[in-house]
Structure 1
Amino acid sequence: MKTVNDMRLDFRSRPENEALARMVISAFIMPVNPTLEQLGDVKTAVSEAVTNAIVHGYREHSGLVRMRAWLDEGGGLLVEIADKGCGIENVEQARQPFFTTMEDAERSGMGFTVMESFMDGVEVISQVNSGTIVRMRKQLTPACCLVRDA
Structure 2
Amino acid sequence: MEQIRNEMKMEFSASSSNEGFARVTVGAFVAELNPTVDELADIKTAVSEAVTNCIIHGYEQKEGSIWIQCSTQGQQVELSVIDTGKGIQDIAQAREPLFTTKPELERSGMGFAFMEAFMDEVEIISEPGKGTCVTMRKTIGKG
User: How does the TM-score come out when normalised to structure 1?
Assistant: 0.91
CA gap of 1:59–1:26, structure 2 versus 1, over 3 A, is same
Q: Which residue of 1 aligns with 2:77?
A: 77
Q: CA deviation at 1:138?
A: 0.2
**2:88 counterpart SS class:** coil
Q: Which residue of 1 aligns with 2:113?
A: 113
Letter in 1 for 2:25: V
Size of the alignment, in residue pairs? 142
1:19-45 CA deviation, whole Å, 9 max, x = no partner? Answer: 000000111011111111100000000
Contact 2:71 2:79 in 1 (8 A): yes
Q: Which residue of 2 aligns with 1:122?
A: 122
Contact 2:77 2:139 in 1 (8 A): yes
1:89-133 CA deviation, whole Å, 9 max, x = no partner? Answer: 000000000000011111000000000000000000000000000
CA gap of 1:24–1:99, structure 2 versus 1, over 3 A, is same
Task: Kindly report the root-mean-square deviation, in angstroms, between the aligned alpha carbons of the 2 structures.
Answer: 1.4
Matches of 2:104 and 2:56, distance apart in 1: 13
Contact 2:15 2:61 in 1 (8 A): no
**2:10 counterpart SS class:** strand
1:60-109 CA deviation, whole Å, 9 max, x = no partner? Answer: 4210100000100x210000000000000000000000000011111000
Q: Does 1:31 align with 2:47?
A: no
Q: Which runs of 5+ in 2 are unaligned?
A: none
Matches of 1:63 and 1:82, distance apart in 2: 11
Q: Could you list the structure 1 runs, at least 4 aligned residues long, displaced by more than 3 angstroms after superposition.
A: none
Q: How does 1:126-141 map to 2 (within 5 A)?
A: 126-141=126-141
Q: Which residue of 1 aligns with 2:8?
A: 7
Letter in 2 for 1:99: F
User: How does the TM-score come out when normalised to structure 2?
Assistant: 0.95
Q: How does 1:16-95 map to 2 (within 5 A)?
A: 16-72=17-73, 74-95=74-95
Q: Which runs of 5+ in 1 are unaligned?
A: none
Matches of 1:16 and 1:25, distance apart in 2: 16
Matches of 1:120 and 1:40, distance apart in 2: 14
Percentage identity across aligned positions? 44
Contact 2:13 2:66 in 1 (8 A): yes
Q: CA deviation at 1:4?
A: 2.2
Letter in 2 for 1:71: T
**Which of structures 1 and 2 has the bigger CA Rg?**
1
